[in-house]
Amino acid sequence: MTSPLPSFSAASVLDVAPVVPVVVVDDVRAAVPLARALVAGGLPAIEVTLRTPVALDAIREIAGAVPEAMVGAGTVITPEQVTACVAAGARFLVSPGWTDVLLTAMRASGVPFLPGVSTTSEVVALLERGVRDMKFFPAQAAGGTAYLRSLAGPLPQARFCPTGGIGPDNAAEYLALPNVSCVGGTWMVPAEAVAARDWARIEGLARAASYLRAAGGTCR
């Protein structure tokens, strides 16, 4: 008998774990064991990016075979992709940026979503539209921790998942910020480990990333 899916609240993409693995799947056969390794390592929220032809199939496979994972879709930039991702089983959506058309589609999808921002005006515009959970991208190039720290004072209601240029050496710095709830990154899924089907290594890297909460991060 299949176990029931875990229950996640609408804002919980930011609350599941201190790190959201950002995954590029080139071979759909790797999707399920990869997801199982990440979940076993303590990172159940998994963002599969729409950067390969098999991305939707990977989401579908993970959603069907790894119910304990909260699999989502990243690099979502059109309403059509929103529809296709949710149909494939995506339980959250992430975009690198946003427009009103895309935001309307993501809101209508019924699943949690993180629209991407990199400027103060974009953050204010989303808050004006009732959205307070956002992706900050590209994090390092857009100003990094200094920029996010500057936003915390005037815009404390905004929460961020920074992604882009974040790794094990600087993730804890981001997680220590009051307006950062988790970070996104790829360091726990190195391409060579995926190609070698080294799931034990990926599980170990995921486990180390999951400990960032105890290491000083403030992921809520």
Residues 148 and 173 sit within 8 Å (Cβ to Cβ):
no
Residue 80 known to be catalytic:
no
Residue 47 known to be catalytic:
yes
Q: Which of 47, 80, 128, 203 is an active site residue?
A: 47
Q: Which of 61, 122, 135, 203 is an active site residue?
A: 135
Kindly list the catalytic residues.
Answer: 47, 135
